Amino acid sequence: MKAKRKNIAVYILLFLFAAVFLAPIFIILLNSVKTNFYISEEPFSIPTGEAYAGFKNFVKGFTQSDFSKAFANSLIITVFSVAGIVLLTSMGAWYIVRIKNRFTKVIYYLFVFSMIVPFQMVMYTVTYLVFELKLNNLPGIILTYLGFGSGLSVFMFSGFIKSIPTEIEEAATIDGCSPLRTFFLIVFPILKPTAITVAILNSMWIWNDYLLPYLILGSGKNRTLPVAVQMALTGGYGNKDMGALMAMLVLAILPIIIFYLFCQKYIIKGVVAGAVKG
């Protein structure tokens, strides 16, 4: 009986936490189909009658924010950044774990240290360096994301690689496999759970990021989706079309929510495997 009450209390607590975290999304959904007047006057009410704007906000926001161009930019940056992070950090982690010397130990701790350095501490220095090297473009920001995403990724891959028996790799070497073939044919397939987790976490971060793309790419033709939504729907004297803004927020978060729902089962597996094993 006591255990049952405890479980009920846990479920109620989890439900409250879920409601708190999901409330902003529900509010955005409600207001995305309201007129601007009712968004400011009755932000928490269900849109009915005169308050209901239908899909006018979506059409207006889609055209004014140049949604398709910004969506394409965000997709290119996210896909290539995540692919680079997964591939290069997995190879780097494999080298760090298997080649045990003072150099690899220093490199590993540098990656770990980068995880605790806030972006705000280095953003001006990074932005200055990016502009000096003429990297204020799509390839440049992809390279920048690769640097910022390496710390956590190397940490997770290293933890999982420590659990892989070296005998498997030695057998591949005896059979004539080069180090690259050993990695891609033997090691990388084993790393699939962690690789998927790293891809999911970095995809959500890069897709939703506003500050770094704004600092590097600005609000011009290469702007990403968060920047486009923020800049295009701002009128004179700072006035915003809140209805169109809410509609664009719905379209912006929808792809990453769908992606997360399909891949969420891999997150816990990968985090536990990368942080505990070895």
pLDDT tens across the length of the chain (278 residues): 667 777 888 888 988 988 888 888 888 888 888 887 778 777 788 887 777 877 888 888 888 778 888 999 999 999 999 999 999 999 999 999 998 889 999 999 999 888 888 888 888 888 899 999 998 899 999 999 999 999 999 998 998 898 888 888 888 888 888 888 899 988 998 888 889 889 988 998 999 999 999 999 987 888 898 888 877 666 555 567 788 888 888 888 888 888 877 777 766 665 555 444 44
Q: Give me the helices (H) in the chain, please.
A: 2-31, 36-41, 56-64, 67-98, 102-114, 119-132, 138-161, 166-174, 179-182, 188-190, 192-208, 211-217, 225-232, 242-276
User: Does residue 210 fall inside a structural domain?
Assistant: yes
- CATH assignment at residue 217: 1.10.3720.10
Domain limits for position 269: 63-240+252-276
Task: Tell me the CA distances in angstroms from 138 to 42, 77, 228, 229, one per residue in order.
Answer: 41, 7, 15, 19
Name 144's Cβ contacts closer than 8 Å, sequence gap at least 6. Answer: 126, 130, 135, 212, 216
Cβ pair 276, 224 in contact under 8 A:
no
User: Does residue 11 fall inside a structural domain?
Assistant: no
User: Does residue 113 fall inside a structural domain?
Assistant: yes
User: Does residue 15 fall inside a structural domain?
Assistant: no
Distance of alpha carbon 261 from alpha carbon 204, whole angstroms: 12
Please give, one letter per residue, the 3-state secondary structure of 210-240.
Answer: CHHHHHHHCCCCCCCHHHHHHHHCECHHHCE
Structure tokens belonging to residue 182: 């050993």
User: Does residue 36 fall inside a structural domain?
Assistant: no
User: Does residue 5 fall inside a structural domain?
Assistant: no
User: Does residue 67 fall inside a structural domain?
Assistant: yes
User: Does residue 68 fall inside a structural domain?
Assistant: yes
Phi-psi region of 176 (alpha: psi -120 to 50; beta: other; left: phi over 0): left
Number of folded domains in the chain? Answer: 1
Picking from 48, 26, 23, the residue whose alpha carbon sits closest to that of residue 35 is 48
Distance of alpha carbon 40 from alpha carbon 243, whole angstroms: 10
pLDDT at 277: 47
